[in-house]
Structure 1
């Protein structure tokens, strides 16, 4: 695997988590049955690979740096995901629950992906398009962050995907099927007095701004940076969950800006109980893109899939009429 363009090994990640847990290199080494020099070497190799220090020493022992504390949940999640995958796949000949066998041993299906920031309407459009070309047992739809979908398409491990896009160039076939303006989501009882930069700046200055952590932070960096710099935002509350955003805004503590499709339907009606206001012309629009991998083309997914998704997305709502 890679991080920041460099190789990161699993032994080093396990060592990193052990030192973070014990706040001691010697205790972590003992727990993993390796020598202290070996543990120190693994940590040094990991830090060199990442490009930043993970630990520093204080009077209590070894403590995480700010960078190390930020990196830790991603390392823990990776180790947990790998452990879960190993449990599902298991060893040959070992007894596994029927559900595990069904997931891991099912014959190949055409794989479609949907950006998990896109609306339920978008998911229905992808499912409806898949059903129009395949039987229900012939395909699978997975919801992942846009960055993961893009990686899977490039690796030919996903046949087609629908995602928010900020980059015009990808190493696979893409077709933009629409664009969305951004919308400000603000606390109940508040309004954006007018759709202008001064009015938006004034409203944003009254609250902490909800900033979404990775992968949204990295994938939408161009829009986020423009927003922060243009409107001089200085007070933030960082979250990594859409529900947390809702709770903070509903309680009057925060405000944020998201793609309009996340909170408004095609008719401009709110899909959430929180007030939201479109911001035409005040921020760059974001593209809604269909990507088809080389593997997808080999499996019969053509440009017709993009047209079908666009039809269901912008025509009559799938499942109605």
Structure 2
């Protein structure tokens, strides 16, 4: 097994096929295919299933993604240590829960890339918010952007800030006097939401239970980013991240903070031990940006 074989395997996995990966790497497709087949022979198992419309990762292939990424990160760090890192293209592997990927993730990655245009960023999304910690622990991603506190998985935590949820109502809704909306006022109300296992749903339901409030979920969507358009379309009220709520307000939604406030800390997590140069730079950048924004 060599570095080229591992990097070719990851390229095929990330691009979903040999032709797209070959184009991205600027190598001949037969060369790429032969290298991956040689890697499969060395490992003694198929990493991809060849299907009529392309490739899908096999069970072994999915299991190999994390160790392969760790291997390349380790090699990049080793090259840096001996002064030859300029020959490698640095990469940052980041997994983020969707609501944090939108804010502050998008602005953090954008400003980081402006300062570090030579670093390639790979962003993954966990199937559930809780699944993020497993992806980081098992090495699929070097850094995770997640809500805190964490389960006890032995990960190192870098606190960055606090995210707050506001209520957004369809345009023209009369929410009554005052600034903040008491949660008690929502008793019996129709609301929009996301599936259980998502921080946004779990935190809201916990707060409502504490207040003895029951609501009726009338629309459930898989992704939090779909909530604001549904509110604007008149489907009902929803809890949105404050920054998303402000954007919805500019389009006509009626938005208010809630009483008591719904706030959750967030930060970056990674495995114990030294980080790759790209991850180390991103952690420092995120700390500085979030500290400046407070």
Fold conserved between structures, TM > 0.5:
yes
Q: 2:208 aligns with which of 217, 227, 240?
A: 227
Q: Give the equivalent residue in structure 2 for 1:129.
A: 112
2-structure distance, mates of 1:127, 1:314: 17
Q: Matched residue pairs, number? A: 220
Question: Equivalent of 1:287, from 259, 265, 276?
Answer: 265
CA shift digits 1:82-122 (9 cap, x unpaired): xxx9xx55xxxxx9323477489899433123332123553
2:61 matched residue in structure 1? none
- Post-superposition Cα deviations, 1:56-89, rounded to whole Å, max 9, x if no partner, equal xxxxxxxxxxxxxxxxxxxxxxxxxxxxx9xx55
CA distance in 1, matches of 2:223, 2:279: 34
Give the match for residue 286 of structure 2.
309
Q: Of residues 93, 98, 123 in structure 2, which corresponds to 1:116?
A: 98
Residue deviations 1:206-251 (CA, integer Å, cap 9, x gap): 741113104416x752442222452512311222233543344224
CA 1:253 to 1:141, structure 2 compared with 1: closer, same or farther past 3 Å? closer
Give 1:252's aligned residue.
234
Q: Contact 2:170 / 2:231 at 8 angstroms: preserved in 1?
A: yes
Q: Is the 8 A contact 1:184 1:278 kept in 2?
A: yes
User: Does the 8 A contact of 2:143 with 2:279 survive in 1?
Assistant: no
Identify the residue that residue 32 of structure 1 maps to in structure 2.
none
Distance in 1, Cα, partners of 2:251 & 2:266: 21
Gaps of 5+ in 2: 1-8, 26-31, 37-67, 73-90
Segment drifting more, 121-130 vs 177-186: 121-130
1:216 to 168, 182, 198: 198
Task: Check whether the contact 2:96–2:125 (CA below 8 A) recurs between aligned residues.
Answer: yes
The verdict on how the C-alpha distance between 1:271 and 1:310 changes in structure 2, with shifts beyond 3 A counting, is: farther
Deviation at 1:173, TM superposition (A): 0.7
Query: How far is 1:286 from its partner?
Result: 0.6
Distance in 1 separating the partners of 2:217 and 2:108: 34
Q: CA 1:163–1:274 in 2, change beyond 3 Å: closer, same or farther?
A: farther
Name the counterpart of 1:161: 144
Change (3 A) 1:273 1:115: farther
TM-score (norm 1): 0.54
Are 1:194 and 2:178 matched, yes or no? yes
Q: Which moved more, 1:147-156 or 1:167-176?
A: 167-176
How much does 1:178 deviate? Answer: 0.7
Q: Distance in 2 between matches of 1:259 and 1:246?
A: 10
SS in 1 for 2:234: coil
Using the alignment, how far apart are the partners of 2:250 and 2:143 within structure 1?
A: 27
**Structure 1: gaps of 5 or more residues:** 1-84, 90-94, 317-321
**CA RMSD, 1 decimal:** 4.1
Deviation sequence 1:261-319 (CA, Å, 0-9, x none): 44348xxx95764222223x514411121112247x34236666334214334647xxx
Q: Where does residue 181 of structure 1 map in the other structure? A: 164
Partner residue, 2:257? 278
The 5-angstrom pairing of residues 21-60 of structure 1 reads: none
Report if the CA contact (8 A) 1:115-1:143 is conserved: yes
Give the Cα–Cα distance (whole angstroms) in 1 for the partners of residues 154 and 241 of structure 2. 25
